[in-house]
Structure 1
Amino acid sequence: MDSQKASYNAGVAKGQTEEKASNMMDKASNAAQSAQDSMQEAGQQMKAKAQGAADAMKDGVNK
């Protein structure tokens, strides 16, 4: 009976470890997606500012 209990406990521990690893991978994936979204947003803001600066230059030249 002891070997069955030990085998069961080993299975439980393996399952818990796999679950923790899966959760860590999910968190890492979410962090990476968040970073990507932040960088994309920053890029869009930079693009908008550059366009605004270009438009201001055009307006200054055309006056």
Structure 2
Amino acid sequence: MSNNSQSMSFNAGQAKGQTQEKASNLMDKASNAAQSAKESIQEGGQQLKQKAQGASETIKEKTGISK
């Protein structure tokens, strides 16, 4: 293989490696964003559930159902 051909092959390999690394980083960022969104939704759901339970208890107390 000529020196120029080896250099081109080396550069192509470097470019491929860099592209794979960038793709991997983007996938990690997307995964982290998805996990964060999932956790936010779960937290919001828990807060809604607690508020609904509190409202239910208040209604039971006001109407005398809990007695």
| Aligned mates of 2:13, 2:37 — CA distance in 1 | 36
Task: Give aligned-pair identity as a percent.
Answer: 65
**Partner residue in 2 for 1:32:** 34
Structure 2 gap ranges (5+)? none
CA drift at 1:4: 0.2
Residue 7 of structure 1 and its aligned partner are, at CA, apart by 0.1
Structure 1 residue runs of 5 or longer lacking an equivalent are none
Please report the TM-score for the alignment, with normalisation by the length of structure 1: 0.97
- Corresponding residue number in structure 2 for 1:58: 60
**4+ long deviations beyond 4 Å:** none
Task: Give the number of equivalent residue pairs.
Answer: 63
Structure having the larger proportion of residues in helix: 1
RMSD: 1.0
- Taking structure 2 as the reference length, the TM-score comes to 0.92
User: Quick one: higher RCO (CA 8 Å, sep 6+), 1 or 2?
Assistant: 2
Greater C-alpha radius of gyration = 2
State the shift of 1:39 in Å. Answer: 0.2
